[in-house]
Copies of this chain bind each other. A is one copy, B any other.
Amino acid sequence: MAKEKPTILVVNDDGITAPGIKVLLEEMQKLGNVVVVAPDAPQSGMGHAITIGKPLRLDKIDLYEGVEMYKCSGTPVDCVKLAVDRIFKDKKPDLCVSGINHGLNYSINVLYSGTMSAAVEGAIEGIPSIGFSLDDFSHNADFTHTRPYVLSIAEQVLNNGLPKGTLLNVNFPHIEKGIVGIKICRQANGNWIEEFEYRVDPHHRDYFWMTGRYDWVDRGEDTDVFAINNGYASVVPTQFDMTAHHAIPELNSWSFDVK
């Protein structure tokens, strides 16, 4: 008896018309039955935000021939939640892939990224999940070199599953650098140094634009930043248990003086 084709949920944070999600859904069509649920507008930097104070729209659209697609008014995480409850209903998809993001989501960016948060939400739902991102912010980013890697990594996850409570954060170098191989990594320590740009609007009121630079403090050769800088596709197994288990004994030694 032939094995049933897997069902694959495709999401992103750049919005349903972004070129990156088209590349991702095309590769996933080689592996299974694809359902796309993506924001109707860009949602970069939305992190793990959910929409609780206002209602959500979910509308079926025909963007690419033969692909089941829905646009959603909410965040990337909303897309996954709506897909699981209202589209897949009783049967969860076999795989959830998010991206391919226009821009890197390595190091601390895993927290700010809507792309990664959608994949995290997939994993919370118990679905094997992967977030893909490319080192190219432009709308016309060239994803050609990522295609065989996206396919291979997704295939491995479908075949092997993922350790309980984990997902994958995959980043690719820019096409001009090419890809020399895959490196399993840890998330590099690093953070953004904010430099808000001050302006005055035509009504004489102050405002600020968020800008900043990434401070690469962690030069470890086992990090995702090192991998990308050296031409590798970085794969970081990522978890949503945020407990700092190693800190529990120290905290237990504190004495709280509650009056």
**A interface, CB within 8 angstroms of B:** 42, 44-53, 55-59, 75, 77-78, 81-82, 84-86, 108, 110-112, 117, 120, 124-126, 148-149, 151-153, 155-156, 160, 162-163, 165-166, 168, 182, 184, 186-187, 189, 191-192, 194-196, 198-199, 205-210, 235-248, 250-252, 254, 256-259
Contacts and interface: CB of A to CB of B under 8 A. Distances in A.
Given A152-B258, A251-B184, A51 B45 contact: yes
Contacts of A86: 196, 198, 208
Contact of A52 (B55, B165, B210, B251): B210
Given A152-B256, A243-B237, A251-B237, A50 B45 contact: yes
Nearest to A114: B49
Given A44-B52, A51-B210, A81-B192, 10 more contacts: A45-B49, A45-B50, A45-B52, A45-B53, A47-B48, A58-B208, A82-B196, A160-B254, A163-B250, A189-B241
Contact of A111 (B120, B149, B189, B209): B120
Contacts of A59: 206
Contact of A182 (B51, B108, B207, B258): B258
Given A248-B237, A254-B160, A48 B111 contact: yes
Contacts of A165: 189, 244
A67 to B, nearest CB: 21
A-B residue pairs, 10 tightest by C-beta = A47-B48, A237-B247, A239-B244, A85-B194, A237-B244, A55-B207, A166-B244, A49-B49, A186-B243, A47-B47
Contact of A110 (B191, B195, B242): B242
A43 to B, nearest CB: 9
